[in-house]
Amino acid sequence: MKFFNNTVTLVFGLCLVTILPLQAQYSLLKSADREFDTFNFVKAIELYQRAYDVKADIKTAERLAASYYHIRNYREAETWYARLANHDEAKIDHILQYGHVLRNNSKFREAKAQYQRVALKAEGAISREELAMLYASCDSAVVWLENPIKAVEVKNQKKWNSAQAEFGATKGPDGLYFASDRFDGAAQPDVIYGWTGNPYLSMYVAKEEAVHKVDAKWGDGANHFGPATFSKPKNEVYFAVTRNLTREEKRKAGKDVTVNIEIFSNSLDATDWGRDATPFRYNNITEWSVGDPFLTASGDTLYFTSDMSGGKGGTDIYYVVRQGDGAWGDAVNLGAAVNTPGDERFPAIDDQGDFYFSSDGHLGMGGLDVYRLSKSGTQAKAINLGFPFNSPYDDFSIRFDKELEGYVASNRSGGAGADDIYWFNLNKVVQIDLEGGVYNEKTKLPVSGAKVTLTPEGDELNAVVINAGTDGKFTFNLAENMDYTITAEQTGFREFTPLAFSTAAIDSSTTLQKDVYLSPVEVKEVVVLRNIYFDFDKADIRPDAALELDKIAAFLNSDPSVRIELSAHADSRGTAAYNMKLTQRRADSSVAYLVSKGIAADRLVAKGYGFTKLANHCAKGVECTEEEHQWNRRVEFFVIENGDAKD
């Protein structure tokens, strides 16, 4: 009887060990979902991560990926979308979004491979026109990065930026005005915007080195206030805001209340711009948003963005013209030359009358890019301002301070925090370029497609990454008076020690020459290719796997004397015989791909090992996570012999 009681106690204890973590996960997920559904993504991330640590599952990973994407943390978003996109149960949306975040992180060739997967996996899931635009954007971004526009200078305005967001910088009556969600003082504010985990937007003014919060009130503090646009001739300020709905508006909106943006205006002479402000004609808080106001120099035309019905999709740009009685006329959509099924934002006009705006629907590098449409009307389409003006992140709210100079906002890497204000000059005089090549240290032959990284000293977040051409060549645009390091990496080569150089004391346009020599791996040295994935139970070469195999081809082309074995491995699930055949098919497919790229067949050996060489503890019968099993589903290669090898 005593034994029976101990057995019952033991079993009951084991049940508690199993049930309690699951109950904790359920409670965490319930709270996390509530935060996610109310757009409190920062808090949601914390809760989802804790739930995922208890038990990894796809839904939690989906929510973590989406939350990081919403707060524009593209590095973390890439990690989570990679898990989803390379899972056996990957959805089309997972793969597509993975492509988007790869673009945001400057991995354009990898992004295109994911878009190609979308096209192959489910024809019709995305239109041919959209796919063609995504392909072209990836190809164009590579060209822009490798051929930066020489007459452009972009500088972070560190004196005005904070760890939070600053954007919409524009000349006002007595300084440069912009919107920010920065923290003021040491005290934690009572009102936090859950989407970002920061205070709500307020308006600030920069005068020389100092930044001051605009002395104006809007609502109860749980609302956004700014950015703004000004007209001195009309003595007016227009600004974007959010506000709490009235009881009647809540009744009209129903259960699904969305906080829409509105535009209000006031006299520049008003002691408080937020008090007794005039609502814009097209405000409709229960139906749509209107925002990003921009007044022309005369004050007679107001441009704005809206997601009102009848647009091209997302947010479109409209304009209204002031009538004789001072009222605004009917809104006019700017049409297909500007608006797309994506989002168009932040209209602006320079001193020459050319029109500028940001968009994620035109040919671009990723996120929002800035485009120009000439006043002459001879342009058939908007022109991307290219790199380095645009980046793979969000670039927006361009405003001109003087001819060819002004301010733009960007959340590109290397900034002070989130969105930062950058000064730009579209007519830079001193141009410093870096040209070089990546070569095999042993053979001195070029290494095509190598990943080359240029890093300003002490500023790793502002590193620029490109891929060397088929001839191993690369080009960078450099800043004046800056210390740099350059590194390169390619599959089949050892880690390269960073090469340091400086542009100090260079005061005229010049081109520096720096070549990189990579040391190849030795005979029998195993190289694990973690990024070659196969769809479940298949041996077809996916577009993303082809990218990795192209790197092996580059290694082999850099040393024609090398022979390699390319081996495929499986996880322990399934029978030994089946997995042996499957991995052999995958190894054969990989070798066949390399042969199709011009590598001689007698330089390649294909070998499938099934699950005879597991990389971790996940042997047959051992309970492991999907990620741990994935670690064993790998492809490797090692050098069998090279020209220096001896019998």
Here the CATH number for the domain that contains residue 378 is 2.120.10
129 with 91, same domain: the answer is: yes
- Say yes or no: 330 and 413 in one domain: yes
Last residue of a domain, one of 95, 111, 146: 146
Domain co-membership, 190 together with 259: yes
Tell me the range of 151-160, 165-174, 458-467 where mean pLDDT is highest: 165-174
**Total-model pTM:** 0.75
Same domain, 61 and 186: no
What is the CATH number for 568?
3.30.1330.60
Do residues 396 and 418 lie in contact, with contact meaning Cβ atoms separated by under 8 Å?
no
Mean pLDDT of the chain: 87
The last residue of a domain, from among 361, 392, 425: 425
Considering the domain architecture, whether residues 495 and 545 belong to the same structural domain is answered as: no
The pLDDT, as a whole number, for residue 396 is 95
Residue 116 inside a domain? The answer is yes
pLDDT greater than 60 at residue 7:
no
For residues 320 and 195, membership in a common domain is answered with yes
Instruction: Please report, for the domain that includes residue 98, its CATH number.
Output: 1.25.40.10
Q: CA 633, CA 572: separation in Å to the nearest integer?
A: 9
pLDDT at 328 over 70: yes
Higher pLDDT, 565 or 38: 565
Tally of domains in the chain: 4
Same domain, 209 and 271: yes
* Residue ending a domain, choose from 82, 116, 146: 146
Residue 647 inside a domain? The answer is: no
Q: Tell me which DSSP letter residue 344 carries.
A: E
365-381 average pLDDT score:
77
3-state secondary structure of 214: coil
What is the C-alpha separation between 130 and 125, in angstroms, rounded? 10
Q: What is the CATH number of the domain that holds 477?
A: 2.60.40.1120
More confident residue, 15 or 218: 218
Question: Do the domain assignments include residue 168?
Answer: yes
Rounded to an integer, what distance in angstroms lies between the CA atom of residue 440 and that of residue 584?
Answer: 31
Higher pLDDT, 88 or 466: 466
Whole-number CA gyration radius for the chain? 28
Of the candidate ranges 137-151, 377-391, 546-560, the one whose mean pLDDT is the lowest: 377-391
Tell me the average pLDDT across 244-262.
79
* C-alpha–C-alpha distance, residues 424 and 151, integer Å: 11
pLDDT digits (tens, 9 = 90+) for 546-562: 888 999 999 999 999 99
Q: Within a domain: residue 321? A: yes
- Backbone dihedral angles phi then psi of residue 291, each to the nearest 5 degrees: -160, -165
Q: Is 536 part of a structural domain of the chain? A: yes
Length of the chain counted residue by residue: 647
Contact, 143 vs 125, CB < 8 A?
A: no
Look at residue 627 in the predicted model and tell me its pLDDT. Answer: 77
Within a domain: 442: yes
What does the pLDDT look like over 486-516, one tens digit per residue? 999 999 999 999 999 999 878 777 899 999 9
Q: What is the pLDDT of residue 351?
A: 87
Q: Which range (9-13, 267-271, 374-378, 616-620) has the least confidence?
A: 9-13
Q: Are residues 278 and 137 in the same domain?
A: no
Indicate whether 276 belongs to any domain.
yes
Q: Are residues 62 and 167 in the same domain?
A: no
What confidence score (pLDDT) does residue 13 get? Answer: 42
List the domain range (segments joined by +) for residue 66: 2-146
Instruction: Output the pLDDT for position 12.
Output: 41
Query: Helix %, strand %, coil % for the chain, to 5?
Result: 25, 25, 45
Q: What are the tens digits of pLDDT across the range 39-70?
A: 889 899 999 998 888 888 889 999 999 999 99
- What pLDDT digit, counting tens, does each position of 522-531 carry? 888 888 886 7
In a domain, residue 646? The reply is no
Pairwise pLDDT comparison (357 vs 21), residue with the higher score: 357
- 55 and 110 in one domain? yes
Same domain, residue pair 302 and 346: yes
Instruction: Tell me, yes or no, whether 540 and 611 share the same domain.
Output: yes
Other Cβ atoms less than 10 A from the Cβ of 149: the count is 16
- pLDDT computed for residue 16 by the predictor: 43
